[in-house]
Every structure is written in C-alpha cells, then in structure tokens.
C-alpha cells in the first residue's frame, strides 16, 4: 500500500479521492518539525511553496529509502532541492499547466488596478474621502505590454492583452512557441524603454548577476510605466523599486511575490503606488481543482509503473 504525505494545504477533494482509490493519506499541515521523521515513512510527498525540502530532509528520507516521489502542487520548485533529490533516486515533479490561467489573470488584474488607480480610490473611500480628481486613470487599449518570458503564462497574458487592443513586445532567451505573428521580439533594453506595462514571467533568479530588475533597469523604463511581478520575488530589488516610485522614475507596480514571504516590508506593502497581493497567483478554485486532478493522475501513473516493475500488472 502506498503511503502519501501531504505537508501543505491542497483541495480537500484530493485527499478524499486518494483515499477512495485505496491510498493511505497522511495530512500533516503546520507541523514542519515532524517532516524529517515523516519522509522516512511515506512513499510520496506533496508540498506547495511553504514546505522547504532541503538537503537535510532528503538525506533523512534516504536513510530508509522509502520516499520515491516529491510532488510540487504548483509551478516553481524553488523550495525543493530537486537535483539533489533526483541524485538520491527520488522523482520530483510539479503541475506547471494547472495554474497558468490563474496567474495570467492576476497579472492582468494588477494592470487594471494600476491603470484605474483603484488602490488610491479604495483607500480613500474607506477613509470617507472623495478623491475623484486624484483617481484619473488611463486605458489599457493602445498601450504597450512588455512580457519578459514568453512561456505558458506569458503567452496567455499576451493573448488577453491583445484582445484589449494592447501592443505586445516580448523578451525571451529561449525561442518561444505558439507566438502570435503580431507580437514583436525585442531586446531587454528595447522592452524596458518601449513598454507601458512590463510583466515578469520567468523562473527564479539563481545566478550571481543580481536582480533581473534593479536600479539600472528602472532608469531605462518610461516614467509612466508600471511593473508587474507575479513570477518570483527575487527577480526584483524591492528597495530599488520603492526608490524608483518615490523618485517618480516609474508610475507604479503590481506585486504578488516577494523576496521574503510572508512579506513584512511595510514600505513596500503600504506604498500607495503599489497594488499588492499575498502570493495568490494560483489561488483560484479552478486552478486548485486542476492541480488536484493532475496530482492524482501522477500518483496513479506512479502506482501503475510500480506494479509493472514488480510484475503485478499485465503490460498489455
């Protein structure tokens, strides 16, 4: 019987479905201190972004060699030492497609919030202030969206922005697929200088080159530009962002991810020119359901392959 350990919150239907299919499911949310012991006893580990699966955790699992698969319920695997786990014979997978639509919609939502000055409007109304004059916004139609990273999420966002009559330019070090002929590939500097909205859709920065967006990049942007980051917190120098906003080098920003989470940078999260959300890019009912479905498929595939190897299932 396959034992599955769930360390972060997932859709309740996942637990119910797995139990109905005969798996032994151990839910251990908010008990980080027990992880080192639990990975010795379970064959499959399911995490989201909160649980850190580092070398110590993997070494602990290797003591019994029971853990065979780690599933990241979501896109990025920054919280998992994936290569190290694989070197120990542990399969590491994620669900990259399931939340792409949700993240793209959030990026677009931040664009609308910034364009219509909804942050200022909301806070003012709650303080019983009629800030109508301060809330004159702009239209997205006719503006240029610069997409950095034209992967799944970048392409979905570009399609939605195109439907709003926005011009699309993009920068990607890898030649993207399924790109509309009206979208223009440009250099990074060209994108920074041309775009009214700049949206980041690339993996976390693990290089020694520093932040992708830092002081020099902000200086290349239009003073009327807006930066959107729903990708990874360490792509943007948060202090440089605050400085760029205070010195009116750019007009605003929409941020869902942070260098440290939960974010306690009050200068960032309370800035009137920033639209902030608490890393909720993939947090829609639909996305979580799709993530759950994909995880169940992965686990059933793992079970099938295991039975085939053990000769307990007909290969035909």
Q: Which residues are known catalytic residues?
A: 232, 261, 279
213: Cα within 13 Å, side-chain hemisphere: 32
197-200 and 252-255 strand pairing: unpaired
- Residue for token pair 């307990």: 312
Contacts of 297 (CB under 8 A, 6+ apart): none
Contact (CB, 8 A) for 199 and 228: yes
Phi, psi of 44 (to 5 degrees): -130, 135
Sign of the Cα pseudo-torsion (135, 136, 141, 143, in order): negative
C-alpha–C-alpha distance, residues 69 and 44, integer Å: 5
CB–CB of 223/249 below 8 Å?
A: yes
User: For residue 120, how many other CB atoms are within 10 A of its CB?
Assistant: 17
CA–CA gap between residue 105 and residue 101 (Å, rounded) = 6
Q: Which of 118, 108, 68, 132 is nearest to 298 (CA)?
A: 68
Task: Give Rg (Cα) of the chain.
Answer: 22
Q: Which residues contact 188 (CB under 8 A, 6 or more apart)?
A: 148, 171
């Amino acid at each position: 019987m396959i034992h599955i350990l769930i360390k972060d919150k997932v859709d309740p239907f996942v637990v119910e479905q797995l139990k109905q299919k005969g798996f032994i499911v151990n839910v251990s949310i908010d008990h980080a201190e027990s992880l080192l012991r639990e990975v010795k006893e379970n064959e499959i580990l399911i995490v989201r972004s909160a649980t850190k699966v580092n070398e110590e955790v993997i070494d602990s699992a290797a003591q019994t060699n029971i853990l065979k698969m780690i599933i990241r319920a979501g896109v990025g695997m920054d919280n998992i030492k994936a290569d190290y786990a694989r070197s120990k014979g542990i399969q590491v997978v994620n669900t990259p497609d399931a939340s792409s639509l949700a993240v793209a919609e959030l990026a677009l939502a931040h664009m609308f919030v910034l364009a219509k000055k909804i942050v200022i409007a909301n806070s003012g109304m709650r303080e019983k202030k009629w800030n109508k004059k301060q809330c004159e916004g702009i239209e997205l139609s006719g503006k240029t969206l610069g997409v950095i990273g034209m992967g799944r999420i970048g392409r979905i966002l570009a399609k939605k922005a195109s439907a709003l009559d926005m011009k699309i330019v993009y920068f990607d070090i890898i030649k993207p697929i399924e790109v509309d002929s009206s979208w223009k590939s440009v250099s990074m500097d060209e994108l920074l200088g041309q775009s009214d909205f700049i949206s980041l859709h690339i993996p976390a920065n693990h290089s020694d080159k520093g932040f992708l967006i830092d002081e020099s990049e902000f200086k290349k942007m239009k003073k009327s530009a807006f930066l959107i980051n729903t990708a990874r917190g360490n792509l943007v120098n948060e202090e440089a962002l605050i400085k760029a906003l205070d010195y009116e080098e750019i007009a605003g920003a929409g941020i869902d991810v942070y260098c440290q989470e939960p974010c306690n940078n009050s200068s960032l999260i309370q800035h009137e020119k920033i639209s902030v959300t608490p890393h909720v890019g993939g947090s829609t009912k639909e996305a979580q359901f799709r993530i759950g479905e994909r995880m169940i498929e992965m686990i059933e595939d793992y079970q099938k392959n295991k039975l085939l190897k053990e000769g307990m299932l007909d290969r035909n």
